[in-house]
Structure 1
Amino acid sequence: MHRNQLNELLQKHKPFNKQEAIFTEQMIAFVKEHSDCFERSLLIGHVTGSAWIVDKSRQFTLLTHHRKLDKWFQTGGHCDGDSDVLNVALKEAQEETGLTDIEVISSDIFDIDIHEIPERKGIPAHLHYDVRFLLEADMNEPLTISSESSDLAWVAISEVQKLNDSESIMRMVLKS
């Protein structure tokens, strides 16, 4: 997938609310302006891929407790040059959970978010232009905590706000 293909996905994405509509427009402009948008070497920000993983009943989501940020989030990470953002989201989901049987519910974008990552170890604060996809996994498959996390948990979607009530996460909860 090239920038043009990501822009096509962005153009056909139907934002859930006004904030996501703003993020979508900002991401379209960012991707068009920066040919290196998939590289973390672009220090102002870069495209990332994330997965909102749900169980087959759609009653639970799998969250990871991010070691560096000390918060619960969906899985996801840097593209590192891979312009196939769905592939990035799937790869990150597998690496961060140990799951091997993950199904892509849709190749359409599930959610768009732009958020700041704080300065750390000489890397300046920057933006993550996060493209999120809806994936499904079996809650009974064993989980493996990666070095990036301190915990993994299947959480009832109705209980997610107790772990992270940010607008970003709650938007995905409402879409679930």
Structure 2
Amino acid sequence: MRNLLEQLEGYTPWNEQEERDRVVLLSMLKSGQDLWTRENETAHFTASAWVTDPTRTKVLMCYHNIYDSWSWLGGHADGDRDLLVVALREVGEESGLTSVRPVSENLFSLEILTVDGHEKRGRYVPSHLHLNVTYLLEADDAEPLAVKPDENSAVGWFGLAEAVAASSEPWFRERIYAKLNAKLRARVN
């Protein structure tokens, strides 16, 4: 199992957003709070995935029902402290893909995400923070895709620029997806 504290301490931030979020993530992780389950309604860990095809020219996105936007794949730790396992599981559940593999077991990105209050399965979920880490994963873009109807209504492959443009959430487009693509391009070159 990968130790998150060690991963965060050894992580080299890409930009100011990652540097500032890294400081907060480390502080919260060291606080002793339960950040691994949704029982903490203020903040909890999530894992996301930037899923690319083998050529690194396409990324996988899903149309997220709650946010009414195309977005990356991922989900809650729900007690699992191995966030790479969480990211892999969530990609499988949200896309139907079975051949997903890590490009690296290292953190690809990190971010603190705000989540507005919303209804989920008939119950109100208060506004909170997702303490998120992102992994770079790879999958075969010819493998069949399947939606997870209780979470998304579409799944598809997009060119790198098209993936950013597909999102209807400006902050994600500008601060997250554009950053992930820049990091992906830097890794390829």
TM over 0.5: yes
Alignment equivalent of 1:158, drawn from 158, 161, 169: 161
The AA in structure 2 aligned to 1:37 is L
Whether the 8 Å CA contact 1:111–1:172 is kept in 2: the answer is: yes
Partner of 2:187: none
Shift of the alpha carbon at 1:161? 2.4
Q: Is residue 137 of structure 2 the alignment partner of residue 129 of structure 1?
A: no
Worse-superposed segment, 151-160 or 91-100 = 151-160
The AA in structure 2 aligned to 1:138 is D
Partner of 2:4: 6
Aligned pairs for 1:63-78 within 5 A:
63-78=61-76
Q: What is the RMSD computed on CA atoms of the aligned residues?
A: 1.2
Structure 2 residue runs of 5 or longer lacking an equivalent are: 168-172, 185-189
Whether the 8 Å CA contact 1:98–1:142 is kept in 2: the answer is: yes
Distance 2:117 2:24 in 1: 22
**Percent same amino acid at aligned positions?**
34
Distance 2:76 2:148 in 1: 15
Distance 2:26 2:35 in 1: 11
Whether the 8 Å CA contact 1:97–1:145 is kept in 2: the answer is: yes
Shift of the alpha carbon at 1:13? 1.1
Structure 1 residue runs of 5 or longer lacking an equivalent are: none
Partner of 1:37: 35
Whether the 8 Å CA contact 1:79–1:85 is kept in 2: the answer is: yes
Aligned pairs for 1:1-176 within 5 A:
1=1, 5-121=3-119, 122-147=124-149, 148-164=151-167, 165-176=173-184
TM-score computed with the length of structure 2 as normaliser: 0.88
Shift of the alpha carbon at 1:30? 1.1
Shift of the alpha carbon at 1:35? 3.8
Q: Secondary structure at the match of 1:38?
A: coil
Distance 2:126 2:174 in 1: 23
Q: Secondary structure at the match of 1:131?
A: strand
Distance 2:176 2:15 in 1: 11
| Equivalences, count | 174
1:30-82 CA-partner distances (Å, limit 9, x unpaired): 11114411111101110001111000000000011101111111100011100
Shift of the alpha carbon at 1:158? 2.6
Whether the 8 Å CA contact 1:20–1:112 is kept in 2: the answer is: yes
The AA in structure 2 aligned to 1:58 is R
Partner of 2:170: none
The AA in structure 2 aligned to 1:80 is D
Whether the 8 Å CA contact 1:160–1:173 is kept in 2: the answer is: no
TM-score computed with the length of structure 1 as normaliser: 0.95
Q: Secondary structure at the match of 1:166?
A: helix
